[in-house]
A and B are shown apart, each in its own frame.
Chain A
Amino acid sequence: MLDRSEILGILFLVPPAVVAIMVRSFFPGLVAALDAQTALLFAVISLPMYAYAAYWALDTRRALAVRVYRGQALGTGLLAFTAWFSYYTIFVLSESPNEQLSNGVTALAFTLFLLSLFYFADITMKASRRSDPLLRDTLHWSRLRILLWAAMAVSFGIILVPTAYATITNNVPFLNDIGTGDFGNSLFNFDFNYLIELPFVAAVPLAVVWFRAKWDRTLRRHFLWLLIALAALFVTTFITVGFILVFLSAGYFLYRACRSLAPMSKIAVDAH
């Protein structure tokens, strides 16, 4: 039986999930593309922000000693880096004349982002269980995670292996299909458009943890910044005006999420 927090956590995600599905259905492929100069300027501005966020998470990881919390910091850092890589490639390469490069790199970048998102969620679930006074296994995550990792391995395998093969053999029609997400084969269609988004399932147990962890102010603050960052990243995929600003804001929110991984203290003046 689900407890109150588990039910609240699941209900909490219903409205954003409905919005996401509607946006995907009514505005498919609405991604802004950048010309070469803007792309370069965009990289110069956005990369330092995302890189700094990732650096901060990795530096916090270095300072920690317990494996599960080090993993959580690593997951957050990877998320910041792969978020920049995947969204940047989508913005910059979506109208690239070199379709082979564009579609292959975009598929790889987005796969890395989804994998790091799931890794982050998985390790965060472990860390939050450890800090739970009753050591609750939220939504049976310790077992569910094995099933999800296996499903993702199959799902990503179905996409990545043919993509790699098509890139090597220069199969442009197939690579174009990847770019549009429209395959003749229904298995590919289902996998590419739905199954590959399995990492987002992890949002459900994370939401439950957010409701449960009333005592853990650090974890809640970290989750809040991360949620805002992911929402901003999501918004960038369907707006064409001002998306650069929103993408930069997402970078800032990710930086705040990395900063809030652990409470930081100030050195007292009387120490020296």
Chain B
Amino acid sequence: MASSGIPALDKLLADGYPDKSAVLVVGPPGIGKEALGYWFTQTGLVQGDFCLYVTRLSVRDVLQDVKGFGIDMDHKVPLWFAGDGGQLKCDVNDLSGLSFNIKDVLKKNSNRRVRVVIDVLSSLLMLNQPETIYKFLDQLLSDAKQYDAVILATLEEGMHKPEVLTAMQQLFDGVVEMRLYEEGLRVLPLLRVRKMRGLPPQPGYYNFTLSKSGMEINSYAR
């Protein structure tokens, strides 16, 4: 199992994300999906895993966000596949280049565990036909399973049609939802593990709070 970097989430997932799996985190912009990717990456770096971070943002912007969550990534950094400032240039218009570079990294690090965070799915879906992205992802994820890799991808809610979100969720081994719920006069950020390979279905919701000291997750009761 690959630790998520968040003890409470690890507990919920029975020790972390499954080996050789691809997990999708779905939620509206600003809810903190990326934070799951930051902790996942930081824990991997500490444990000696090879980490690749794929984003269309600049490295500077991501590091600013990372600091905002109180995560220390000053000493050990992942391989950046970023819009600007990374070792590899991420061009969301170049699907084949994206696929080639990710597979190349996996091949070169086939002797160790690799953690990949992909933060460009929504952009890819906006710039291409959904069917093209389904095929691209299907191929990429099945290739990645030949290696000891765990992939964590984020997807924006409210930007794609519901049927696209459903189809995307089917491509992944695990889906974690982070959503805003309306309860009376309150807006609640709740988390739900919609599915996870090796785990029985979990219908329960969990309250979560993100702060500089980490992520707190508690069972939600109405």
Contacts and interface: CB of A to CB of B under 8 A. Distances in A.
B55 to A, nearest CB: 10
Contacts of B188: 63
Given A133-B126, A265-B180, A271-B204, A65 B158 contact: no
Which of A69, A133, A217 counts the most chain B CB atoms within 10 A?
A133
B181 A267 contact: yes
A66 B222 contact: no
A216 B180 contact: no
Contact of B122 (A64, A70, A133, A263): A133
A22 to B, nearest CB: 38
A66 B179 contact: no
B28 interface: yes
Interface string A121-138: 000000100110111000
Interface stretch (B6-14, B31-39, B98-106, B135-143): B31-39
A135 B83 contact: yes
A105 B138 CA distance: 62
B46 interface: no
For chain A, which range describes its interface: under 10, 10 to 19, 20 to 34, or 35 or more residues? Answer: 20 to 34
Contacts of B40: none
Contacts of B179: 263, 265
A215 interface: yes
B159 A59 contact: no
Interface residues of B, number: 42
Interface string A64-78: 111111101000000
B65 interface: yes
Given A59-B187, A133-B92, A133-B127, A268 B203 contact: yes
A24 interface: no
Contact of B92 (A67, A134, A268): A134
B30 interface: yes
B56 A70 contact: no
Interface in B1-30: 28-30
A262 B180 CA distance: 8
B75 interface: no
A217 B205 contact: no
B50 to A, nearest CB: 27
A28 B192 CA distance: 56
Which of A63, A68, A127, A271 counts the most chain B CB atoms within 10 A?
A63
A218 interface: yes
A65 B35 contact: yes
A59 to B, nearest CB: 5
Contacts of B45: none
A264 B183 CA distance: 10
A4 interface: no
B43 interface: no
Contact of B158 (A62, A66, A67, A218): A218
Interface in B43-62: 56-57
Contacts of B204: 271-272
Interface in B165-205: 179-183, 185-190, 192, 203-205
A133 B181 contact: no
B123 interface: yes
Contacts of A217: 158-159
A137 to B, nearest CB: 12
B181 A266 contact: yes
A135 B57 contact: yes
Interface string A238-271: 0000000000000000000000001111111011
Contacts of A265: 179-182
8 contacts: A60-B180, A60-B187, A63-B188, A63-B189, A66-B29, A133-B123, A263-B180, A266-B182
Interface of B: 28-32, 34-35, 56-57, 65, 68-69, 83, 92, 122-124, 126-127, 156-160, 179-183, 185-190, 192, 203-205, 210, 221-222
Given A63-B188, A218-B28, 12 more contacts: A56-B187, A63-B31, A63-B187, A66-B29, A131-B159, A133-B122, A133-B124, A133-B127, A216-B158, A218-B159, A264-B180, A267-B222
